[in-house]
Amino acid sequence: MPLSPVNLAHKLSQFSDYFNPRIIAELNGQQVKLVKFEGEFIWHKHDHEDELFMVLNGEFEMHFRDGIVTVRENEFLVVPRGIEHKPFARKEVAILLFEPSSTLNTGDRNHDFTRKQLESI
């Protein structure tokens, strides 16, 4: 099969729901995912995985127990394993996630936002 680039805008146009990551690629035990969200997620942590959040469109705040970091379009933030965090966006934001395939979106918490089976697009 010939290789071809992934068009992020096209992939983002394929869904409109929030807090439901989609897998767009896999490599070396890692997954590249897209997610959209608006509003508040839940406090959680990942004991064994680091997470990379890259903002494609919009901006969001990553809340930590000791402060808040704003991440804007064309910026990314790595949340180290074991650090409790909670994403929040005042307006819709589109995020590229890069994380191990074992990463559960709600980490150590089971919640309505938990997605155990992710769709590949």
Per-residue pLDDT band for 113 (boundaries 50, 70, 90) equals confident
Residues 3-14 have pLDDT tens digits of 899 999 999 999
Is the pLDDT at 1 greater than 70? The verdict is no
Across 17-25, average pLDDT: 96
Domain 8-120 = CATH 3.50.50.60: no
Q: What is the pLDDT of residue 27?
A: 94
Q: Which residues contact 94 (CB under 8 A, 6 or more apart)?
A: 12, 34, 35, 36, 55, 56, 57, 58
Q: Give the pairing of strands 119-120 and 51-57.
A: unpaired
Residues 36-93 have pLDDT tens digits of 999 999 999 999 999 999 999 999 999 999 999 999 999 999 999 999 999 999 999 9
Q: What is the pLDDT of residue 68?
A: 98
Going by the DSSP 8-state scheme, the letter that residue 18 receives in this structure is S
Q: What is the pLDDT of residue 84?
A: 97
Residue 10: phi and psi, rounded to 5, are -65, -45
Across 4-30, average pLDDT: 96
Domain ranges of the chain: 8-120
